[in-house]
Structure 1
Amino acid sequence: MPPSPSPRPQAAAPPLRDRGDACPGALRLHPAADGHLARIRLPAGDLTARQATVLADAAELLGDGHLSLTSRGNAEIRGLAEGCGGRLAALLDEAGLLPSAAHERIRNILASPLAGLDRHTPSDVRRWARELDALLCASASATALSGRFLFVLDDGRGDVAALGGDVSLLAEPDGTGPAGSALLRVGDDPAALRIAGPDAPRAALAAAEAFLTAAAASGSGAWRVRELPDGHGLRAPDVAGALRSAGIEAAYVAGAPASATRTSPPYPDSAAPGIVEGPDGDRALSVLAPLGRLSAAQWRLAATIAADDGSGALRLTPWRGIVLPGLSAAAAPGRLAELGAAGLITDPASPWHRLGACTGRPGCAKSRTDVRADATAAVAAGTAVPGDAPAGPPGLPVYWSGCERRCGHPHGTWVDVLATTAGYRVALVSPDAAPDTAPPATRTTAAPPPAP
């Protein structure tokens, strides 16, 4: 039997924030058990092959020789020595990865990774991402945003629309990209505002500034839209006023869909590895990193393929993967096989597909065990969960966590594998359920984790 879902949680009061967030950045390094950590924001996950090579150099010269991919399409370097921040910043700046030191932690922009690449793609919202990033870096007020505040830009297929954006843009099917229209959402509000495509980046910034105004008025120090207290929440009508002040026309849409309705064939699974067939014979390669971790050699191989056979660019995905656009139909199969031979995930049937884990020990002192080693052992034994625990419905993400923080866990419905003092607990988590409130009857406990 699959694990029973957790019950609907009691509504929790939003936290009162009396300090700024402690999210790491490229300039603000975070001390961890395995050294310092740098998180490099990559709006829309975009990198040139040269920039990717610089990150590999930085990981080898200053870190532990690996790169980690995050659930927001960013990259992390771990194992950094204290005092190396200046050298790292110089490398990143020279590569064009630090356009604004004051804004580097707030450039959290997710965009549909296959936009513009597959045969049935709608607009290329990635242009919106570039324009929004430029607007953010030019805005003095935007520096007050938290490093956790997230912009989500969905090309209409719905692949990233549900990934927890504070400000979300959803391209509509009545046009193509910046020439069409978009729905703007804030937080979890089911209503939206319809705006013209060319206004989308400015509207997203105006919505973020409206959040800052609401957070200041509430006195809550909220980092995200969902943290605004009752009476100070941000909804579509509130944002409409901010858009009007910015000269942006907006129409209220109640209960707008989370993805566009189209008559074209279904979109491919954006999270699945393999070859993506595009228009005019172009191909893109989509690969995943096991548990989101790559060696510098694996990373360099992807950069080399992008430079030699692709468009010269890479896209990081929120599923801890890499997309390489612009390959020919002739080159794509051989290059995909090369990436697979190097240890990257290229087959959607791989047991590593949809399997994730937090950093765990030894990198995180808060973790109760080495969850990555335990997850690897489970895969070797032919399962995605500990011991004989039920794996849940097929196709759901499975995520291993070393403590209740569950850093980097998936959104939506997923199988939660949590290390406790008594062993691993497996539960099915849905948007309406809280994993920490699962009753004992729905918990499955495997062998206890190793003692600290």
Structure 2
Amino acid sequence: MPVGESSGRTRPDACPGALQVHEAADGPLARVRLPGGAVSAAQLRVLAGCAAELGAGVIELTSRANVQVRGLRSPEVFAGRIAAAGLLPSPAHERVRNILASPLSGRGPDGLLDVQAMADALDRALCARPRLAALPGRFLFALDDGTRDVAGLGADVTYVATGRLLLAGADTGLTVAPDAAVPLMIDAAEAFLDELSPDGPRAWRIRDLPDGPAAIATRLRDGRPARTNAPNALDAPKAPQAPHTADAPQAADAANVPPSPARRPSAGRIAQRDGRVAIEALVPLGRLTSAQARALADLGRPVRLTPWRTVVLPDLSPGSPGSPGSPGSPDSSGSPKSLGEADRIERTLAAAGLVTDPDSPWAGVTACTGRPGCAKALADVRADARQWVRSLGRAPATPVHWAGCERRCGLPRGPVRQLIATINGYEERQE
């Protein structure tokens, strides 16, 4: 297990934010929270300008669908710009606005709810509760639209659109209607703070607490009986299960929340239920250059960032079958004016260096920061990963993660081939 996942901590959480920056080896690093991974074209343009004018020229995508800007020359100016762009609604809560959401938000074949609207409501409720500014910067919420793409990411508090509430990934047996889910998730965060011991080891996550999921579930049942275990407004969930014992919270069962296999980054078109399409593009090694960010912003469309360090543009017209540039057309070299909306955007993304080919060698290849940005790294893993990818003809069969040291920061979930830098070169492991 990577060092960053250990419990029994003795130091305060130092997770960076937009105001509390991290002094990295290459200069101050700021992290901006984007609840649900949502960012507007105007906001993305501001971030691109900040990266180019104040930082190292890149925007890093994180595994929580947030963004980082490295090498800041003026953290104060950066904070002022993102605040003006609406990316800092509550300075007191800016490090705790960690909210994942299914990127398609109900549009896909298995989606049941618009969870982006719920993410926005959760963000507002979180910022409105002064006490919750004390949450650790690692505490994580997730809203799954029924696709089960984020339900398996181990968030502290997860609402699945089938009506289930998960705590640290465990099925608590609690069900809740969609209109009551946000208040209950806020209550769960309050219950976590209630469980913290002033004298014991510091807990950053529910899983750090003794019997954490069961303890939080008990507080929710005792304190909110009208909200929990109530009839659900959705058709899918079953009746609530019996309360779990404190020493054995039940894992998600197949009848309620089927286990989610680790999702690897993907690229290409995704059919929406309304006949339109979304395009998901890989961002090589999770780093957007300022020019790439501007190209995305110039599309003038909302963008969804994902926990897999990809970008999604939903609600695109697919184009008429047989039209120039459309799939299956005998002439795929149509002029920009004759191309369908999705075709034009695919071309723009590809021209910017973003990957829309699902078989690209970049699919499944990740890396930590490495040298020179991290003082603990023993190699420039990003440069080594780029050179290695250039030798491939297609996507590796198993995801590959390049790590600069034993901490293995950014290690994806699921089976991963790991290339870990040591003083004697790279050591390969398979987990």
Q: TM-score range by the shorter chain?
A: 0.7 to 0.9
- Equivalent of residue 64 in structure 2, options 66, 69, 72: 72
- Equivalent of residue 105 in structure 2, options 93, 96, 115: 115
Q: Does residue 1:34 correspond to 2:26, yes or no? A: yes
**Helix, strand or coil at the partner of 2:344:** helix
Q: Does residue 1:248 correspond to 2:227, yes or no? A: yes
CA displacement at 1:297 relative to structure 2: 1.0
Residues 375-394 of structure 1 aligned to structure 2 (within 5 Å):
375-382=385-392, 394=397
- In the alignment, the residues of structure 1 paired with residue 308 and residue 351 of structure 2 have an alpha-carbon distance, to the nearest angstrom, of 20
- In the alignment, the residues of structure 2 paired with residue 421 and residue 344 of structure 1 have an alpha-carbon distance, to the nearest angstrom, of 33
CA displacement at 1:193 relative to structure 2: 1.4
- Equivalent of residue 368 in structure 1, options 345, 355, 378: 378
Could you tell which deviates more after superposition, 95-104 or 273-282?
Answer: 273-282
Number of residue equivalences: 388
Contact 2:164 2:256 in 1 (8 A): no
The letter of the residue matching 1:318 is P
Q: For the structure 1 residues 363 and 129, does the alpha-carbon distance in structure 2 shift closer, same or farther, using more than 3 Å as the test?
A: same
Higher RCO by CA contacts (8 Å cutoff, separation 6 or greater): 1
Contact 2:151 2:158 in 1 (8 A): yes
Residue equivalent to 1:59:
51
CA displacement at 1:233 relative to structure 2: 2.4
- In the alignment, the residues of structure 2 paired with residue 317 and residue 423 of structure 1 have an alpha-carbon distance, to the nearest angstrom, of 32
Q: Does residue 1:336 correspond to 2:346, yes or no? A: yes
Residue equivalent to 2:196:
215
Residue equivalent to 1:448:
none
CA displacement at 1:13 relative to structure 2: 8.2
CA displacement at 1:39 relative to structure 2: 0.4
Contact 2:169 2:252 in 1 (8 A): no
Query: Structure 1: where are the runs of 5+ without partners?
Result: 1-7, 173-181, 386-390, 430-452
1:240-296 Cα offsets, whole Å, 9 max, x none, are 43355244222446543379679xxxx9x7842111222333222211110001111
Contact 2:122 2:182 in 1 (8 A): yes
Residue equivalent to 1:95:
85
Contact 2:174 2:228 in 1 (8 A): no
Q: For the structure 1 residues 287 and 139, does the alpha-carbon distance in structure 2 shift closer, same or farther, using more than 3 Å as the test?
A: same
Residue equivalent to 1:345:
355
CA displacement at 1:112 relative to structure 2: 0.9
The letter of the residue matching 1:424 is Y
Residues 300-449 of structure 1 aligned to structure 2 (within 5 Å):
300-305=294-299, 307=300, 312-329=301-318, 330-382=340-392, 394=397, 396-429=398-431
CA displacement at 1:404 relative to structure 2: 1.3
- In the alignment, the residues of structure 2 paired with residue 13 and residue 37 of structure 1 have an alpha-carbon distance, to the nearest angstrom, of 23
The letter of the residue matching 2:228 is E
Q: For the structure 1 residues 237 and 192, does the alpha-carbon distance in structure 2 shift closer, same or farther, using more than 3 Å as the test?
A: farther
CA displacement at 1:401 relative to structure 2: 0.5
Q: Does residue 1:235 correspond to 2:231, yes or no? A: no
> Over aligned residues, Cα RMSD in angstroms?
2.6
- In the alignment, the residues of structure 1 paired with residue 16 and residue 317 of structure 2 have an alpha-carbon distance, to the nearest angstrom, of 38
The letter of the residue matching 1:403 is C
1:48-80 Cα offsets, whole Å, 9 max, x none, are 111111111111111111111011100111111
Residue equivalent to 2:181:
200
- In the alignment, the residues of structure 2 paired with residue 101 and residue 259 of structure 1 have an alpha-carbon distance, to the nearest angstrom, of 41
- Per the normalisation by structure 1, the TM-score is 0.80
Q: Does residue 1:153 correspond to 2:153, yes or no? A: no
Query: Structure 2: where are the runs of 5+ without partners?
Result: 230-239, 243-249, 319-339
CA displacement at 1:86 relative to structure 2: 1.9
Contact 1:184 1:195 in 2 (8 A): yes
1:140-160 Cα offsets, whole Å, 9 max, x none, are 121111111111211122211
- In the alignment, the residues of structure 1 paired with residue 293 and residue 178 of structure 2 have an alpha-carbon distance, to the nearest angstrom, of 35
Q: For the structure 1 residues 258 and 237, does the alpha-carbon distance in structure 2 shift closer, same or farther, using more than 3 Å as the test?
A: farther
1:88-144 Cα offsets, whole Å, 9 max, x none, are 111111111001000000011111112233244221222221111111101112111
Q: For the structure 1 residues 236 and 351, does the alpha-carbon distance in structure 2 shift closer, same or farther, using more than 3 Å as the test?
A: same
- Equivalent of residue 165 in structure 2, options 157, 176, 184: 184
Q: Does residue 1:16 correspond to 2:9, yes or no? A: yes
Contact 2:21 2:29 in 1 (8 A): yes
CA displacement at 1:373 relative to structure 2: 0.7
- In the alignment, the residues of structure 2 paired with residue 384 and residue 24 of structure 1 have an alpha-carbon distance, to the nearest angstrom, of 36
Q: For the structure 1 residues 127 and 171, does the alpha-carbon distance in structure 2 shift closer, same or farther, using more than 3 Å as the test?
A: same
